[in-house]
Structure 1
Amino acid sequence: MSQISNAIEKRDSGPAAVVEQYRESLALVMPSHLQQRVGAWIRNTQGLLRRDEKLMKAAQNDVGQFIAVLMDAGRLGLEPGTEQYYLVPRWNNKKKHTEVTGVRGYQGEIELMYRAGAVSSVIVEVVYSKDQFQFRPGRDERPVHDIDWDADDRGTLRLVYAYAVMKDGATSKVVVLNRGHIAKARAKSDSADKDWSPWNTDEESMWLKTGAHRLAKWVPTSAEYMREQIRAKAVVDSEQRPEPLPASVPVPAPGTVDGDYDDEPVEGELVD
């Protein structure tokens, strides 16, 4: 009987149960679009643990680290265990055990760009050796990339490029990275030589992620950008607002002055 009780106690205090215990804390850091589905977000995370023994073991080794990673994913508004945000069991040499670390994926980088509200589209593509690719900075606004979709083999990974089309139609800086650039990015990862590293399990995604990450330096990737735009507009509106008339001067009734229309929209009010 004691063995059954111990098993139940261990299960209830395990990583999956702790995630549920942190429901309110996770919801507090999440953007509004995730707060509405925090329950599904938590259930998906618990399902990941049950399906992946290595991930479960790493989470059990350091539950606090695991929750910190989930907090980071929640704060960013990304889905853990997807190409938005990888959950990776990683060896900690100081603690001598594996622990869960979070790796933002290329879809996560793109999601943050869209959510900032400044771009209408984001293009991130890899170029294989048998593809046709052309881009001349200063002459071409955007790359020209031709692919033979009927080809059984497109060759080896050659380039990755990324750019965004802004809301006003302008094109952001175009980022083009070759194999040498990717090698330098990979060298900065201290886990790239591990079997479980996304660099080895999903190389194309890591090329895409590197391109998207480099593009993020040139386009807004935070909702703070939109808040700054709103604040800036409020400042402009306040500066353009006419000074109130002295109390001794009568204020004309609406419609009695040329150009005064009751049905004009009221500026300064943000409507979702």
Structure 2
Amino acid sequence: MYNSKIVLFLLGFFTYALGYSQHHAETNKQQIFSTSLKQERELWIKLPFNYDPAEAYDVMIVLDAEKYFELTNVLVDNRMRYGKLNPAILVGIPNPNMEERSRNLTFSRSTVDQKGEATTRYTSENSGKAEAFAAFLNEEVLSFLSQEFRVKQFGIIGHSFGGYFALYNSTLEDKISEYILIDPSLWYNNGEALQQIETHIERLKERDGIHFYLAHEDGIKNNSTKMASLARIFDKHDIAYTNFVYRNENHGSVILPALVDILRDKGKNIQRTPRHKIKK
């Protein structure tokens, strides 16, 4: 009897898995050579269900894809499938390793840590090469995606160093219009991303349709203070943004509630498609 229950469970599980795979497009892992980084890099591309190549779609780029792509994929797929988010193409950029992550997502060497205390952790070997990564993203990735798909608008999702990079990078390019910044490391190098925004705020003011989603936990006072300063800058210069603060989360756990709230906010004006009209 016990073995029969196991067999029935496994049959049920594989039947469910087969049905799920038939209705959910697989993630395509695409290799491209980056002249900026002088290396092969991988892009993870997930098309929405019922994808039509004749249609134009929003493209959402997920930094730190090895950690956040699958989570984002599940949440985005659910919101799209039930008519609460416009169909979008999800693109992940994974890091080859943690040292390259730190090196590629930071624009300088930081002499302070997240608490504002002196540190020697950041060196020329593990930080300060983000200009090359920015060129890879802004010139190579966006160009590749524009050639492969019909794009309505680009968005980017970044957490921690990814959020810091995305914010700083918003002053270097003009093709990404939506920025989802989850607990961005604004503390890095005494707030250099914040200083970059202040210095180049006119570049953002000239752009139509730009919107920032800010989400952060408030456990690290140094970072929370800088997030409040960023919001004040946006208020002063009429830069569109939506702000979420989480008092019972930490730097690692905040990613889930932030994504849920931001995706819900993005779809708040979309009328739910009746279930019987959703194509299977």
TM-score (norm 2): 0.24
Which of the pair has more CA radius of gyration? 1
TM-score (norm 1): 0.25
